Structure 1
Amino acid sequence: MRIIFCLLAISWTGLWLTPDQAGQRYFDKRRFAEAAATFEDPLWQGAAWYRAGEFEKATQSFARVPTAEGKFNEGNSWLMLGKYDQAIASYDQALKKRPEWKEARENLELAKIRRDRIKQEGGDLGDQKEGADQIVFDKKKEGGQETQVDGEKATSDAAVQAIWLRQVQTKPADFLKAKFAYQYANDAEDSSP
């Protein structure tokens, strides 16, 4: 009896809601991957993929939106993937359509700074995709406990951190400003005598 009820509920929703309305319900419930798979509107679909942490899929959805907002969001997705040249091109397209857009200009500048910094350093070491093989703590310093984490646990800890970071609700510009300020401060400390 329950199986029939579930099937009726699914068909009832399908009869009265458009795919975009159903997608909006999933989105509001923070079920972003389901929302993205349901949406037909590429702007909403891209937003859902972005919130789900699927930035490659988000860029594909946003690429289908020829507006300034579509290009801006496409740039944000490229930025999250670390593809700064593509992000710069997307922000340029957004600014051609809406030249006074402050956030697009700020994100464009951040993408250029990051791209130039990577070229100077020879790579982006801060966004490595691989976890550590082994984490070993200095046992000579006081204040900690003796702990050793193998490679599999280290990788899963990195995965948990990545999932947590995806759930942080902030503007990409604010996130990048904080990230670059932090990296700049660490570089200044490392280069000081």
Structure 2
Amino acid sequence: MKIAAVFVLSSGFWLTADQQGQRAFDGGRFDAAAENFEDPMWKGAAYYRAGEFKSAQAAFARLDTAEAHYNRGNCLIFLGQYDDAMASYDRALARVPGWQEARDNRNIALARAERMQQEGGEMGDQQIGADEIVFDKKKSGGEDTSVAGEQATDSASMQAMWLRRVQTEPADFLKAKFAYQIRFEEEVGP
């Protein structure tokens, strides 16, 4: 008599939490992966990929490895906490002194901190960013400089109006902001 073995791997019944997290991660479902993972490094990576930088940095903070400090520094940059990011990179560099990426990212955090000081000082505990990006698909790009009845007279006022009206996810906002800054520095110079 033969007995057929039944495996319920597709539903995840026999999988550990980390295995379920890995399946979700591999499938691009990063929020679900982060909820499933018990391993702090994987949990942090999943939150990071999901754009949940505050949760990601908290997961990485549970570890005392060079990689965890490096990843935490990356999260802190996205959160606009540049001094804390530099301290995290310093901890990573104390463990791996020749780590060029950690040194480069520390320099980015330093430059952003200095730029924040020049552009109006510290923001305190405020978070920089909006909640959601919304595009008006009926308008063609760049032709209308008015936003809900307001008319822009110069570049700074147009940017201020736009920032008051835009709603974006922090991850999307920061991607756009950093891309703009890189493009601006390439055109104008530092």
TM-score (norm 1): 0.67
Contact kept, 8 Å, 1:130 with 1:155, in 2: the verdict is: no
Q: More helix by proportion, 1 or 2?
A: 1
Q: In the superposition, relative to structure 1, how do residues 34 and 18 fare at CA in structure 2: closer, same or farther (>3 Å)?
A: same
2:188, 2:129 → 1: CA distance?
Answer: 18
CA distance in 1, matches of 2:112, 2:90: 16
CA separation of 1:163 and 1:110: change in aligned 2, threshold 3 A: closer
Residues 44 and 56 in structure 2, CA contact (< 8 A), matched pair in contact too: yes
Offset at 1:69? 0.4
With structure 2 as the length reference, what TM-score do the two structures score? Answer: 0.68
Q: How many residues align?
A: 159
Specify the code of the residue in structure 2 equivalent to 1:95.
Answer: L
Q: How many Å separate the matches in 1 of 2:73 and 2:86?
A: 7
The AA in structure 2 aligned to 1:86 is D
1:52 matched to 2:43? The reply is no
CA deviation vs aligned residue, 1:131-183 (integer Å, no higher than 9, x gap): 8xxx9xxxxxxx94798658xxx9896327x56568x7xxxxxx95x554334
Corresponding position of 1:158? 167
Which residue pairs with 1:184 in the alignment? 185
Residue 105 and residue 145 in structure 1: after superposition, are their counterparts in 2 closer, same or farther (change >3 A)? closer
Report the Cα offset of residue 65 of structure 1.
1.5
Distance in 2 between residues matched to 1:86 and 1:129, nearest whole Å: 22
Q: Find the partner of 1:23 among 16, 21, 24.
A: 21
Q: Which runs of 5+ in 2 are unaligned?
A: 1-7, 137-141, 150-162
Structure 1: tracts of 5 or more residues without a match: 1-8, 136-142, 169-174
Instruction: Map 1:61-100; keep pairs closer than 5 Å.
Output: 61-100=59-98
Task: Give the AA of the match of 1:57.
Answer: S
